[in-house]
Amino acid sequence: MDILQKCEDYTLHREIRNLDLYPYYRGISSPQEPVVTMNGQKVIMLGSNNYLGLTNHDEVKEAAVAALRKYGTGCAGSRLLNGTLDIHIELEERLKSFMRAESVLTFSTGFQVNLGVLSCLLGRHDVALLDAMDHASIIDGVRLGFGKSLKYKHNDMQDLEAKLSRVAENRGKLIVVDGVFSMEGDLANLPEIVRLKNEYDSRLFVDDAHGVGVFGESGRGTAEHFGVEDEVDLVMGTFSKSLATVGGFIAASSPVIDYIRHHARSGIFSAAMPPAAAASAIKAIDIIEAEPQRRKQLWETTQYMKRELEGLGFDTGTSESPVIPIAVGDDIATFTLCKRLQEEGVFVNPIVTPAVPPGQAMIRTSYMATHNREHLDQALTALKKVGRQLDVI
């Protein structure tokens, strides 16, 4: 059998293209601002994770340019060997202070954090307990390890407890959960998870990619939001959302970080993050701390859009974050809605299987602190028009 035959047999993308509904790899020729340029058209961006609006901030860009001039374009090696620059160390110290963590280690991407950390921590006698809607990087990181995994129903604490009760006492247990679920926009029930963690002698890993910068009085994420920072053993974050660049980090106790530093293959065998990215993240943290009004504006926008979308009749599920889904159901209807909205000048993301269960396709909208009311109302007008045309509302 030809190993490449599966590539010939995969036809879904061609079928969607033939319907003129293909929604992926769309070219954008401008920064990630509230309005972007696509094929010469100005489009309101409701699909970016640039929550605090920092990716095109002048100070962030200037910090990146300065680092580019000082260090060049890359590190030409892994952090373990020749690729650690003093700016990487500075970033980790800055993150330690910001996250109030004992120790922090950075990786080249957020995906690599989960791959490396989870695979190296989960040994043959360990069990990972995963929310059914955990991010793909969590699933893959656990698969790469030698431990066993158990999934519990999404945000179902009774099911989590049932799974925990099945794990033998002599096995290591790690609950791994998204702080903010990236498709649904709802939050993990961290207070109850912490209670169960303590009752069943487990450890807790929170992927806060969509929480850092957004949640908590100081922007430290969902653990700060719920007041359980001291109970979370590992916090993962990315730089590709609120922190305006690319990369990721893990925050934990010093012994845990030292172990990860010397065992996480995705860090040991990958080139270090570019110095310009490290400088951008440092400056983004500075701005987050100096300008809390950005987070306040983001939440005002989020609350306004959720209220208005629901008022129009859209089903926004259980979202509690700047990620607000719009339930559609059918995959083709979702692709059609996405295309029609772009024609009306609004960029959204179509989410279909396998990212969500069959029959639960949705449009994923997300918001920035830099959206103004004119942007939002223009988008709402388009959403109302297209939603009615396609019988979504």
CA distance 228 to 222: 9
- Final residue belonging to a domain, choices 243, 265, 290: 290
For residues 273 and 216, membership in a common domain is answered with yes
Alpha helices in the chain (DSSP H): 5-9, 12-18, 58-71, 86-99, 110-121, 136-144, 157-166, 190-199, 222-226, 254-263, 265-268, 275-290, 293-312, 331-343, 373-389
Model pLDDT, residue 357: 87
What is the structure's pLDDT at 355?
84
Q: Are residues 271 and 367 in the same domain?
A: no
* 99 vs 134: CA distance, rounded Å: 22
Shared domain for 276 and 303, answered yes or no, is no
In a domain, 4, yes or no: no
Q: Any idea which residue has 């998204």 for tokens?
A: 178
- Residue after which a domain boundary falls, among 258, 275, 290: 290
pLDDT for res 353: 87
What is the distance between the alpha carbons of residues 283 and 277, in angstroms, rounded to a whole number?
Answer: 10
What is the rounded CA–CA span in Å between residue 335 and residue 369?
27
Q: Are residues 219 and 94 in the same domain?
A: yes
Q: How many CB atoms lie within 10 A of CB 379?
A: 27
- In a domain? residue 9: no
Strands 41-45 and 35-38 turn out to be antiparallel
- Beta carbons within 8 Å of 30's beta carbon, 6+ residues apart: 36, 37
Domain-located, residue 12: no
Tokens 């340029």, residue located: 37
Judged by DSSP in three states, 197 sits in helix
Which one of 247, 270, 290 terminates a domain? 290
The reply to whether 306 and 258 lie within a common domain is no
Provide the pLDDT for residue 372. 98
**Which tokens in the block code for residue 229?**
């920072």
Which amino acid, 391? Answer: D
Q: In the chain, how long is the greatest CA-to-CA distance? A: 61
Angstrom distance (rounded) from CA 52 to CA 57:
10
Residue 126: per-residue pLDDT: 98
Residues 31 and 107 in one domain: no
DSSP 241: S
**Domain range enclosing 340:** 17-46+292-389
The pLDDT assigned to 242 comes to 98
With respect to residue 266, please indicate whether it lies within any of the assigned structural domains. yes
Q: Mean pLDDT in each 10-residue stretch from start to end of the chain (393 residues)?
A: 95 93 97 97 98 98 98 97 98 98 98 98 98 97 97 98 96 98 96 98 98 98 98 98 98 98 98 98 98 98 98 98 97 97 98 90 98 98 97 95
Active site residues: 182, 210, 241
The reply to whether 286 and 297 lie within a common domain is: no
- Token code pair at residue 208: 């806060």
0.75 surpassed by pTM: yes
Reading the block at residue 260, the tokens are 């990860």
∠ CA 331-336-338, nearest 5°, is 95
Q: Are residues 122 and 21 in the same domain?
A: no
CATH for 68: 3.40.640.10
Tell me the sheet residues that pair with 326: 363
Query: Is 53 among the domain residues?
Result: no
Tell me whether residue 170 is in a domain.
yes
Cα separation values, 152 from 139, 156, 159, 228, 253, Å = 13, 7, 6, 21, 27
58/60 Cα distance (integer angstroms): 5
Residue 164 amino acid letter: L
Same domain membership, residue 306 and residue 164? no
- Number of structural domains in the chain: 2
CB neighbours of 293 closer than 8 A, spacing ≥ 6?
none
Residue 368 maps to which CATH number? Answer: 3.90.1150.10
